[in-house]
Structures are given as structure tokens and as C-alpha cells.
Amino acid sequence: MAAESVTRRVLILGSSGSIGTQAVEIVTARADLETVGVAVGRDWRTAVTQARSMGLETIAVADPQAASEARENFDGNVLEGPDSAVEMIGLTRPDIVLNGIVGAAGLGPTVAALTGGIDVALANKESLVIGGELVTELAAATGARLLPVDSEHSALFQLVENEDPGAIERIVLTASGGPFRGRTDLEGITVEQALDHPTWAMGGRITIDSATLMNKGFEMIEAHHLFQLPYEQIGVVVHPQSIVHSLIDLRDGATLAHLGYPDMRVPIAYALTWPERAEVPVERLDLAQVGSLDFEAPDPETFRCLALAREAGEQGGIAPCVLNAADEVAVASFLGGEISFSDIPRVIEQTLEDMGSGPARGFDELFAVDEASRERASEIISGQG
């Protein structure tokens, strides 16, 4: 078929981040992929460097101050402001948007791409955590695909692809357990300790979310929406080596697992080249060298965030949106030295309680709930002062 020779046009949002820079590297190395645009939050220098090396005429920079600095240093066009990533989608009309934006800011671009029938390689967790019900309905309505980039969801996506949905009894997300695995008391943890993740090098927010296990909680919610499974069919197992990326249990008693060294280039490449498999120059797995793989049950009593996420996911509606907003505020406050590590779940639980529950009727409502939850979380934090 001629389809193989057609170049897939890729727009990379969050191109200066960990996922974004690796995506640029993968696209650049492949003749059948082409980057048609990059968007960043604040790091205009990386965006300008990427634009020059790939011959792009327009970049998007969300932060106005950073955008004006970009304009002084870049001959092309600079789209500016919080809607600049969405504008970039309209301007470039790509075949696929890689959404590597961190936080709730990633939801708008996901919605814009799906509305336009454009596939989304999704690394932005919040799109599904906050807007899961509406986002998956939107994708179904326009026929656009959500291709997961998160390592666990990519693994699951690859595992379930060839199975009859009725044959899947359970999906199991693996969790590294973070730097505090095994601890039963999370008092007195410093920012430096929390930022020191044992297996994955990532941005600040997701590293803290991995340390609290909130990241795994978000991933359960994402998995619920991506694979349309109830929460009782979604499990978590702690696996410190991060070699097994996830597993599925099938009705005949077989369990399938996806393995490899932790390297995000594999899931990024899979999302961008699906349904084909790219040649990716990562280290090949040598199990004899790995030696042994360990597994243990998670401890949701110590790691309260995992339990809070499951509860919010089961509740559905606005609850996951509140969960995420409260977590973003609490993590930023922890990183800023305003609250302790063990305050993070307290702030989230209180915000969830104060915001109540209800259905998510539309994206505008979710954005309003997001804002109100942030305000509430901030008030709780300053009250605790």
C-alpha cells in the first residue's frame, strides 16, 4: 500500500520537556515523520533551537514574557498566550498531535485536536484524568484516536490490541513505588529526597506524583477511560525495577506482560508510528543481566494519594478534576517549601470533601471546577500556614 510512503505530519506540544525533546529526536530520525510545529510553555530557547534546526516558521510560547523574548531572537512567527498551542493545531493541521504538556493546560489542546478529527499521541495525563468521560466521547464522535504515550498505557495498548475485549479480565499497572517504597511513615521528607526518583528521570511535578503514588492513581483513571474497564478490573502492583511496564490477565488464565528497560522512546515511537513498529535504538533487554524482578502489593494506607485517586475515579464526574487541581496546587506548595510531603494527601482530601461531587456536563464546567478547586486548595494551604 502507498500509505507507508506518506509522511505523517506531527505537531509537538510541550516540545522542551522530557517527552517533547525525545519526540523531536524520534521524528527527526525518521523519513516518514515530519515535525510541523512546536509549542512550549516558557522555554523559548529550546523552541527556537528546534524551529531553526527543523526549518519551522512558527512556534508557540504560552508565557507572554517568554514569547516576547522569543520574538527578539527568532525571525519567524511566535504565537503567544495560553491558547497558542490550540492556535498551532489550527495553523498546522497536523496528522497527529503529540501532547507532552504538563498539567491541566494540556486538556484544551487535546480537545481541540480531537474535535478536528486529529489523532493525539497522549502524554498529558490530565486530559483523561480531568476530562476522561467527555474526551473519550469526543474521540468516539469524531473518529480521532487517542494513542497513549505513558509507558504503562502504551504497554497495555500493545497488549490488548490483539485481544477480544471480552477476553480481558483485568489489567495491572506496574508502579516503581518511588523513592519511599517500603516506608510506613512519610513524615519529614525533604524536597531533595522526593525529587530523587529511582528509575525514571522526569519533570518536578510528575516526580513528586510518583513519590506520593498519585501518579499511579492518575494512571488508573487514565486506564479506566482508555480501555473502558471498571475500576475493579484495574490493579496496581509495585515493581521497583520498572522492567515490566504492565500486564493483562485473560479469561483462559494467561497473563501477558510488556517488558523492556525504562526508556520513553519506545512508547513515544509506538504512538507516532502506530500501527507499525519503528526501529528504535534503545538498549535491548537482557534478563540474565537483570537477574531478578521483584513485585509487592501497594500500600494505600501509607500512600494515601493512591486511595484518594481510586475513590475519585470511582466517583467520576467532577471528582477526578478536583483531585488533579488539588494535587497540582499541593505539589507546587510542597516544592515551594510551604507544606510538608505528608500534607499533600491532606490538602487533596480536604479539597475533595469541600468541593463535593457532581456530573461533568461540559468542558467549560470542568475548567470552572478546576479553577475553583485550585482556589480552595490554596485556601486550605494558607489556612494551615
Residue ranges that bind Mg ion, judged by CB under 5 A: 150-152
Select 226 or 381, whichever has its Cβ closest to Mg ion: 226
Select 150 or 328, whichever has its Cβ closest to Mg ion: 150
> What are phi and psi for residue 236, nearest 5 degrees?
-130, 135
Select 74 or 218, whichever has its Cβ closest to Mg ion: 218
CB of 126 to Mg ion, least distance (A): 13
CB of 321 to Mg ion, least distance (A): 20
> What are phi and psi for residue 173, nearest 5 degrees?
-85, 135
Q: In angstroms, rounded to a whole number, what is the distance separating the alpha carbons of residues 55 and 278? A: 24
CB of 152 to Mg ion, least distance (A): 5
CB of 246 to Mg ion, least distance (A): 9
Farthest CA pair distance, the chain? 64
Q: In angstroms, rounded to a whole number, what is the distance separating the alpha carbons of residues 312 and 364? A: 20
The one-character DSSP state at 342 is: T
* 168-175 and 244-250 strand pairing: antiparallel
Helix (H) or strand (E) holding 38: strand 33-40
At a CB cut-off of 8 Å and minimum separation 6, what does 371 contact?
325
Select 91 or 280, whichever has its Cβ closest to Mg ion: 280
Cβ-contact 305, 324 below 8 angstroms? no
The one-character DSSP state at 172 is: E
CB of 150 to Mg ion, least distance (A): 4
CB of 66 to Mg ion, least distance (A): 28
The one-character DSSP state at 296 is: B
At a CB cut-off of 8 Å and minimum separation 6, what does 182 contact?
none
Cβ-contact 70, 50 below 8 angstroms? no
Q: In angstroms, rounded to a whole number, what is the distance separating the alpha carbons of residues 376 and 320? A: 15
Closest alpha carbon to 376 in 301, 319, 326, 314: 326
CB of 128 to Mg ion, least distance (A): 12
Q: In angstroms, rounded to a whole number, what is the distance separating the alpha carbons of residues 22 and 309? A: 29
Select 126 or 152, whichever has its Cβ closest to Mg ion: 152
Select 65 or 295, whichever has its Cβ closest to Mg ion: 295
CB of 6 to Mg ion, least distance (A): 31
Select 61 or 238, whichever has its Cβ closest to Mg ion: 238
Select 39 or 264, whichever has its Cβ closest to Mg ion: 264
